[in-house]
Chain A
Amino acid sequence: MGTMITMTRDLDIPGSQSTPAIQSSWQAGRLTMQGDSYPENSYELFDQVVEWVRRFLDDEERPLHLSLGLVYLNTSSVKAMMDIFDLLEEAHGNGREVAVEWYYDPRNERIAELADEFREDCSYPFAITPATTPT
């Protein structure tokens, strides 16, 4: 029964040309997002992600790790990511262990610069790591 609830709590959204692939694991305390993000309705897409993060932080006491391989983000996607990072910052302020790892293609240094801009107000571990994954 317990596993059933855990199963339904997780996100597994396949990526498309304009939306990132999103997977969450309540069990592992992990959220991963990869790809470009310029969805037609970004609230529809990101509301469930923000909600998942909020619920995990509220319901659990275990650490939460975000693993990101995001490439292009439109403005509303940037806003959604800022909202998520704010939730993590708040949880971190309450003594929660949270961490972000942002992977980028070393051929595109701009991504690292932009990830660094996101990191600006975050006091929790936020690593920006070059990764040689196929694009």
Chain B
Amino acid sequence: MSRRDEQALLERVTALLADPTHSGHPLFEPLEALVEKYRNQQQQLERLISISDRYQMLALEARQVTQKRYENSLRRQQKLSRISDGYQAMMRERNRALRQDSTHDPLTQLANRRLIDERLLQLETSGQPYTLVLMDIDRFKTINDRHGHDVGDRLLVAIADAMREVLRESDLCGRWGGEEFILLLAETRIDEARIIVERLRDRVSAVTITSCEEKLSVTLSAGISEHRIGERHLTTLQHADQALLEAKRSGRDRCLVASR
């Protein structure tokens, strides 16, 4: 029965009860009591529905609050992670920069002795074949004396740049001393090393810098020594040094292979 039909029936019964001609009927009293009970029950039902609706509304609101709180805390957590990751990335960059600074010559950005020593030890323990080259700029002291250390430094930087152009990824070039350089050529035999060094000497002798309208350029002397199996790297180094000394003695601007 629809709500409207229910309402119509109620109105019909109420109208019948209101008719005084029915007041003596034996059904009058029980029917009147029944209508009263029906009205009370309907009121109860409406109250119940309204309370239930309010509870549902509260639960819904509470869920929305929880949801909002959860979203906020998630957003906050994400922000925290993002910023924290940023700081960690900054730290890694800083570490990389420190590592670079502690292993490279600040003037030329070539490897410094620390990195070269590390690499020499690595090569020695791995047993990887390599050729070692020591190089020295000819008459560099004269340039420093005549033009000053600023000019000398500029020349060193230009030479280092030129060397980097010629060398391969796997080659390590370091500043060994004032105007002395070292090359570690891994997996490289003496003949190939010789070609590389000659190419490098060519490239360096083409470098010019200007000081007081005077064009300055230099030559390189080099001593090459191939590492022998089982040999200490200090021995290889001594042989290269000896070859370099001979290159200097025999007129400079040349490359000599260590005689064994």
Contacts from A to B (Cβ < 8 Å) = 72-75, 78-79, 82, 108, 110-111, 113-114, 117-118, 120-121
Contacts and interface: CB of A to CB of B under 8 A. Distances in A.
Contacts of B93: 110
Interface in B69-106: 76, 79-80, 82-84, 86-87, 89-91, 93
Contacts of A79: 80
B84 A117 contact: no
A74 B84 CA distance: 7
**SS class, residues of chain A in contact with chain B:** helix
Which of the four size classes fits the interface of chain B? 10 to 19
A73 B83 CA distance: 9
26 contacts: A72-B91, A73-B83, A73-B84, A73-B87, A74-B84, A74-B87, A75-B84, A78-B80, A78-B83, A78-B87, A79-B80, A82-B76, A82-B80, A82-B83, A108-B90, A110-B90, A110-B93, A111-B90, A114-B86, A114-B90, A117-B79, A117-B82, A117-B83, A117-B86, A118-B83, A121-B79
Given A72-B87, A78-B80, 10 more contacts: A73-B83, A75-B80, A78-B83, A79-B80, A82-B76, A82-B83, A110-B89, A114-B86, A117-B86, A120-B79
Interface of B: 76, 79-80, 82-84, 86-87, 89-91, 93
B90 A78 contact: no
B156 to A, nearest CB: 25
Contacts of A110: 86, 89-90, 93
A112 to B, nearest CB: 11
A72 B84 contact: no
A75 B90 CA distance: 13
Contact of A113 (B76, B80, B84, B86): B86
Nearest to A79: B80
The 5 closest A-B pairs by CB, nearest first: A75-B84, A110-B90, A114-B86, A78-B83, A117-B83
B100 to A, nearest CB: 15
A72 B90 CA distance: 8
A113 B85 CA distance: 12
Contacts of A118: 83
Nearest to B90: A110
Contacts of B89: 110
A29 B73 CA distance: 30
- Of A74, A75, A113, the most chain B CB neighbours within 10 A belong to A75
